Structure 1
């Protein structure tokens, strides 16, 4: 049986993708129009097959191969070969090495105090802004600032601040050092990715592409210098603790180029994922104050007068955990993944030929109404044990699945829940009036003009 999908286009599908507003929204449209298994043209990968049904997706769960062309935009970050497409026999041992550093509970507990210090530092800065705005309001200055309701509130750019926080966290935890200029590193990563994603998803003029690549070269030099500084500081300290990433790589005898590549890719993945997940969660809580109040009540009950949880408290914050999961269902930080078949693959009534790019559209899976009634509704109760038990295991895959799933998923969850607990214990978040939040594809599921929210002290 032929796999359904749109007619082939002379432009390789680039026009359809652009018209949809990006690959993440294109996936939603394709599955709405053609069903759970769709054949479509993907710029940079030829023809691909996308699977949005979690039961059918099981057929691809064991594939440990990624399409090289689709991940070529990461080539500049890797000197010893693109880590995202390394062969399965090499990937397995490397993955276990990463898991040994990133997934261990003892090391999470050991680093929690530093994480808390970093989050508290951001909260202190936001509190100063909120207190200043309240003082201005009390002094009667708000009316002069143009707000028709006569009130002024501190406004923060969530993704800007929280991705910088995430980078500081991963610098301290996995890399064994503090990143000196997290904002500069974030901007440098964006320059590198913009230059190379541009080749995949748009057709810039020669001058524009040349300018992008010039900025990308300078940014890559900056990134490598940052990584070298972290690795050098680690070696000079004589640390071989396998609970941090560099220590694990050194202890395993990895060559210097592979250490640098692993550090670079880890910084990229980690600084986006946690900050973006927390940002979307706060965005949704700002739109649903009744859910935010329930989270705050749980925090008060579990923490009492303490400003931050310890590691054991995180397990007791069950409603906070459900809220984060529901936010990542609606806005998965990485909206899709991809595999490449090495042999023919049977998916339901269809046969996918060997050598085909198989797309795993996390967002479309998470919005599948067969498994998520009223999928666009924000309802954390979907993740009670009773409701979760009734769904297929791949119905919820914010960190991917199988042998190519995210090695840092457990660490990212600890970081995100700690960050949310500290911030929601202290603040109320509300949308900035008139600010439109539009999801876009920028390596992760980003917001086009950040997520601007007002913050006020809970008192």
Structure 2
């Protein structure tokens, strides 16, 4: 039985993706037209098979290789080899090390005060803006998330996070434009020079972070992670005998993944809430009841803020920061009655999985109550996969949820958010689900405007 899909085109599928507005939108159209399993042309990978049904995805959970060509746009970031496509035998110990650093709840709790201080600092800066002044959510929140991961795992603060965020955007944007042959207002020479400058800035930043860390064994640094602290990523890499180039690559990859995940997730959550006053009233009412007059939660409060957690999870369903992933079938597979030979590129359209109406009724609707215990019961475990799944899932998922929950609590406790009039939010593909011209909001204090219940 042949897998359904569009007819092959001489351009390898580039024009179809461009017409759809990017791969993130193209995947939705494919599955709307052809069903849960689709064969299609994927630039950089030849032909791929996309699976948008969480039950059928179970057949692929054991896959542990990524298709190298599809992730080649990340090659310029790395010196010792692209960390996104490490062979399974190299990836497994590297992943265990990252999980040991990033996934420990005691470390999350120990650093929670530092996270709160950084979140409060941003909130104070927004409060000092002219009344109702607009803020660029993704710019400010990704910069803050970058400072959080540097303080948590890399041993210090970052003085110029916005510059680092911009440099990542330049390098990844250029590579994606080349991959999909998208039009540009710059000549190839201008693009190459601009990208080289941005990459040099990123590598210089990594070198400064590592130099500031100092040699392993120098103890606590300014009250933050030091030798012997499980959250000390650089120290753990040194202790494991990791070569210097791989240490630099890991620091760079951690900065890239961590700031994108949290900052982008919180930005989309605030955007979605701005269009749903009932959900906003309910989450702010919960914050007022749980926190009282406190401006920020403590670590234990996160477990009491149940509706806020539902809001975050529903936002990650509607707008997953990473809209897709991919694996390489190293052995034959059968998925939904279709035979996939060894060597098949298996495409994971996370966004399409999250909008599958068979498991998410009215999938376009923003409704946090989907994540109540009653509605979650019986839902397939792979119906919600914003951090991926299996052996290549995001190592920092639990840390990202702590950071995002804290940020939402601090910001929603203090501010009301309204879209800037005339500003259009357009999701685009830039390694993550970004907004083309940021998400611009008018921010006003909630003082004297406490919500205590849900309004219509």
TM over 0.5, yes or no?
yes
Per-residue CA deviations over 1:392-450 (Å, capped at 9, x if unaligned) read 00000000000000000001100000000000000111112222111111110011111
Deviates more, 1:400-409 or 1:216-225: 216-225
What secondary structure is seen at the aligned counterpart in 2 of 1:62? coil
Per-residue CA deviations over 1:240-276 (Å, capped at 9, x if unaligned) read 2332211221222211111100000111111111111
User: Which 4+ stretches in 1 moved above 4 angstroms?
Assistant: 203-207
What residue is the counterpart of 1:15 in the other structure?
A: 15
Cα RMSD for the two superposed structures:
1.3
What residue is the counterpart of 1:147 in the other structure?
A: none
CA distance in 2, matches of 1:227, 1:304: 41
What residue is the counterpart of 2:161 in the other structure?
A: 182
Task: Specify every segment of 5 or more residues in structure 1 that has no aligned partner in the other structure, as ranges.
Answer: 134-152
What residue is the counterpart of 2:411 in the other structure?
A: 423
Change (3 A) 1:206 1:275: closer
Change (3 A) 1:13 1:426: same
Q: Quote how far apart the aligned CAs of 1:206 are.
A: 11
What residue is the counterpart of 1:223 in the other structure?
A: 202
**Structure 2 counterpart of 1:214, from 181, 187, 193:** 193
User: Which structure shows the bigger proportion of residues in helix conformation?
Assistant: 1
Q: Quote how far apart the aligned CAs of 1:277 are.
A: 0.3
Tell whether the 8 Å contact from 2:324 to 2:347 is kept in structure 1 after alignment.
yes
Q: Quote how far apart the aligned CAs of 1:210 are.
A: 2.5
CA distance in 2, matches of 1:205, 1:445: 20
What residue is the counterpart of 2:402 in the other structure?
A: 414
What residue is the counterpart of 2:103 in the other structure?
A: 103
CA distance in 2, matches of 1:85, 1:262: 13
CA distance in 1, matches of 2:381, 2:186: 47
CA distance in 2, matches of 1:284, 1:117: 26
CA distance in 2, matches of 1:208, 1:325: 42
Tell whether the 8 Å contact from 2:326 to 2:346 is kept in structure 1 after alignment.
yes
What secondary structure is seen at the aligned counterpart in 1 of 2:128? helix
What residue is the counterpart of 2:246 in the other structure?
A: 258
CA distance in 1, matches of 2:185, 2:442: 41
CA distance in 1, matches of 2:333, 2:177: 31
Deviates more, 1:202-211 or 1:332-341: 202-211
TM norm structure 2: 0.94
Correspondence 1:383 to 2:371: yes
Change (3 A) 1:206 1:156: closer
Correspondence 1:235 to 2:214: yes
**Structure 1 counterpart of 2:428, from 428, 436, 440:** 440
Q: Quote how far apart the aligned CAs of 1:374 are.
A: 0.4
Correspondence 1:324 to 2:303: no
Task: Specify every segment of 5 or more residues in structure 2 that has no aligned partner in the other structure, as ranges.
Answer: 219-225, 448-456
Change (3 A) 1:206 1:453: closer
Correspondence 1:290 to 2:269: no
Tell whether the 8 Å contact from 1:177 to 1:233 is kept in structure 2 after alignment.
yes
Number of residue equivalences: 438
